Structure 1
Amino acid sequence: MKIWKTTALGLALAYSMPSLAADFSFDRPGSGFGTGITPVGHLAWEQSLPTVTYNKESTSSGFEKTTTVQGDMLLRTGLAKDWELQVGWDGPAWMKVKSPAGKFEDHGLGDVSVGVKKAIDLQDDKMTMAVLGRVSFATGNQNFTENHDVYTLGSTVAYQQNDILNTSITMYYEVEDGDWSVTAVPTINYKLSNKWSGYSEFVYRKKESQADHTSLATGLIYALNARTQLDASVGFGLSGDAPDYFGGLGVAFLF
């Protein structure tokens, strides 16, 4: 009898864990965040492998070209049914700057952030919502830090159009050293097959006393199983008179 109960319990756990993960969604890739909450007792690890950014900026003495490679990370764990804790790290980074004055290289570590996400029950089968409060601490090395702590309040509203198409918009409101900024990220997520899906997003960011910045990005996501996914994305900036490109690979696990 004891053996039968143990076997039954093991089969129940084996069955429930994949179905539990099936209702879960990772927040990467993309600039916004999803409305899904990490199940209590589980840990989501979302890792870039890495992200590469190339920027060409016009200066008085000529063009300055900057290449940055960075491996950011996000850990998420469920606190309650509709709450999760997030700990992020901009990770190790390397940069190379080429200008008429010469070349410059540097490497270091990025900032650390802590946030809490809350799912909002709209009592709607197709529309979901979540809010996020986050503080990014300026703990990184020079050239890889925001220099001041950044306080962020974010919200995402998503609408499931059908089995294939999901649309959402994420809004961020940030304050850094007294300066405010707002970011809007409308996103389209589309299912290509049982394993493959994709996304496309437009990012608009306006910081106080600075010109606005816009960009487009798109990517593919491959689900290895119910708990593991791989992703690849590319994008480019639309602002300014010089090219601005970014792209990268990523992996995410649900433990």
Structure 2
Amino acid sequence: MGLGRHTGIVRAGLDKSRAKCSQGYIVRKFLHAAAALPLLVAGAGAAAKSGHSLARPVPASLLRELSTDRPDQTESPYTVDAGRFQVELDFVHHASRRDTSGGGSVRTRNWRIAPVNLKVGLLDRVDLQLLVDPLVNSRVEDRIAGTTEEVSGFGDVTTRLKVNFWGNDGGSTAFAIMPFVKWPLPASGVRNGATEGGVIFILGFQLPGGWSSAAMTELDIVSDGAGGRDTEWVNSITFAHDLTDRLGGYLELVAVTGDAPGFKWQGQFDAGLTYALDDNTQLDLGCNFGVTDSAPDYQPFAGLSRRF
């Protein structure tokens, strides 16, 4: 789910350089970009579904097939239908990593309880999203030193705006851009207190044999912990196939790189299942597996998506 999926338990301790970039500047730039994107696709969106909007919802008979940004890390290029609401949440999300570098033995475990993505369709090709982490628990155990540190609290809040440029209502490919901003909530044991943001580019396409795929490139501007900024890139590709009328599965590869001094690239292999209860409700479960030492060892999850 964008920013926050791959950060936190592997970023601490990096010696990062400073860059002159204020929080206000970051917010203004992303708000300007978010405001301009719907105008770029207004004409194309009007032709697709007769200009539905938040005030003029798409009727049930014209709703697209349910599309979600979970459970895989690759976002979907499709938006929520105009005037409709969608809730996507994890029941629980766990990440664990053991660091044995330098002869040490440090185990980090993160628990996220009911993180949720609240979506609303604004226009035929535009939706607005609010991501909230209600409860985060982080536990770091140094088995050599015999020490344990544990913090808990309300996590981050992020706003995203997804704009589909083509393929929302048919075609063999689809493309969307999604800028986002993490709110600068007061710093705590589980929040860094900084404004962070970025932009996500998503391309979806159909493959032979009933397979579908999506590729994503994400640019993150993150705090370096010393008043400056670092850049991180997330690249992923996912492959999905229906197993039955209701059951589907996917496989995914994810790579995270960054320009901070000492940053080690993080690689993951992910797998999961989705099950459609009805046209508007989907259950999912899966696990992300680290394939590099710097990535979390494993991240099991289970969740629910519901459209209204």
TM-score (norm. length: structure 1): 0.87
Q: Which among 240, 243, 265 is matched to residue 192 of structure 1?
A: 243
State the Cα RMSD in Å.
Answer: 2.2
Change (3 A) 1:49 1:235: same
Which aligned runs of 4 or more in structure 1 are off by greater than 3 angstroms? 16-22
- The residue aligned with 1:222 is 275
Is 1:66 matched with 2:108? yes
Segment of structure 1 superposing worse, 111-120 or 61-70: 61-70
AA at the equivalent of 2:253? F
Change (3 A) 1:114 1:206: same
What does residue range 10-159 of structure 1 map to in structure 2 within 5 Å? 19-58=61-100, 60=102, 62-71=104-113, 72-100=115-143, 101-121=146-166, 125-139=171-185, 142-159=188-205
Kindly indicate whether the alpha-carbon contact (under 8 Å) linking 1:187 and 1:200 is maintained by their aligned counterparts in 2: yes
Give SS of 1:156's match: strand
Segment of structure 1 superposing worse, 97-106 or 218-227: 97-106
Shift of 1:248: 0.7
Q: Distance in 1 between matches of 2:272 and 2:67?
A: 16
AA at the equivalent of 2:128? L
Is 1:233 matched with 2:286? yes
Change (3 A) 1:139 1:25: same
Q: Distance in 2 between matches of 1:163 and 1:242?
A: 33
Q: Which among 234, 246, 251 is matched to residue 299 of structure 2?
A: 246
Shift of 1:90: 2.4
Please list the CA deviations of residues 87-138 of structure 1 after superposition, one character each: whole Å capped at 9, or x if unmatched. 1112311222221332232211111011110001269720111110100124
Change (3 A) 1:80 1:241: closer
Q: Distance in 2 between matches of 1:68 and 1:140?
A: 20
AA at the equivalent of 2:77? T
Q: Which runs of 5+ in 2 are unaligned?
A: 1-57, 224-228
Please list the CA deviations of residues 9-45 of structure 1 after superposition, one character each: whole Å capped at 9, or x if unmatched. xxxxxxx865444423011111121011111221100
AA at the equivalent of 1:198? G
- The residue aligned with 2:219 is 173
Q: Distance in 2 between matches of 1:138 and 1:54?
A: 26
AA at the equivalent of 1:49? F
Q: Distance in 2 between matches of 1:93 and 1:142?
A: 11
Give SS of 1:88's match: strand
- The residue aligned with 1:11 is none
Please list the CA deviations of residues 197-230 of structure 1 after superposition, one character each: whole Å capped at 9, or x if unmatched. 0111111111112111111111000000001111
Q: Distance in 1 between matches of 2:191 and 2:201?
A: 24
Kindly indicate whether the alpha-carbon contact (under 8 Å) linking 1:109 and 1:141 is maintained by their aligned counterparts in 2: no
Q: Distance in 1 between matches of 2:126 and 2:270?
A: 29
In the alignment of these two chains, the number of paired residues is 240
AA at the equivalent of 2:125? D
AA at the equivalent of 1:235? N
Q: Which runs of 5+ in 1 are unaligned?
A: 1-15
Query: Percent identity among equivalent residues?
Result: 21
AA at the equivalent of 1:42? R
Shift of 1:66: 1.4
Q: Distance in 1 between matches of 2:250 and 2:81?
A: 24
AA at the equivalent of 1:132? M
Kindly indicate whether the alpha-carbon contact (under 8 Å) linking 1:165 and 1:190 is maintained by their aligned counterparts in 2: yes
Shift of 1:162: 4.4
Q: In proportion to residue count, which structure has more strand? A: 1
- The residue aligned with 1:9 is none
TM-score (norm. length: structure 2): 0.72
